[in-house]
Amino acid sequence: MLTLLDVSVLLPLSWPNHQFHHCAAAYMKQWQGRWATCAITQLGFIRLSSTPKVVGVTISPIDAQRLLHRMTSGPRHQYIEALGPPDGEILGAHFGRILGPRQTTDAYLVALAEREGAEFATFDTKLAALSASVHVLDPSMV
């Protein structure tokens, strides 16, 4: 089984000072399959990791990229290629379920996970309405 990690999971997984770190780490510890990232989640990770207000420290985007590289260099990680232009039938179905324009990227990521036969792991509870393949992590379960 494969899970595509949302930035909301990828970020706390690598930052021990993040409020959801323990939950993300516990999820990955129990997860027996492979985990994935894509260009969108990797770029989001780099952007947010190099934002001091988000992670509580100052690091450069290149250092954030190096951290990401260390995380993704293991044998359980898989990089997923993009879907292509956001105009296909699969995307259209997800776009019809979004609550507003801020979920367009999320709908794309869910469609990408589904194409790979993967679940999409996130902390964003609103995304559960997009698809049965969305797995919402519950921080209170740690």
CA angle 135, 10, 22 (to 5 degrees): 80
Which of the four pLDDT bands, split at 50, 70 and 90, describes residue 140?
confident
pLDDT (tens digit per residue) in 16-37: 999 999 999 999 999 999 999 9
H-run or E-run covering 11: helix 7-14
pTM for the full model?
A: 0.89
Please, what are the domains in the chain? 2-141 (3.40.50.1010)
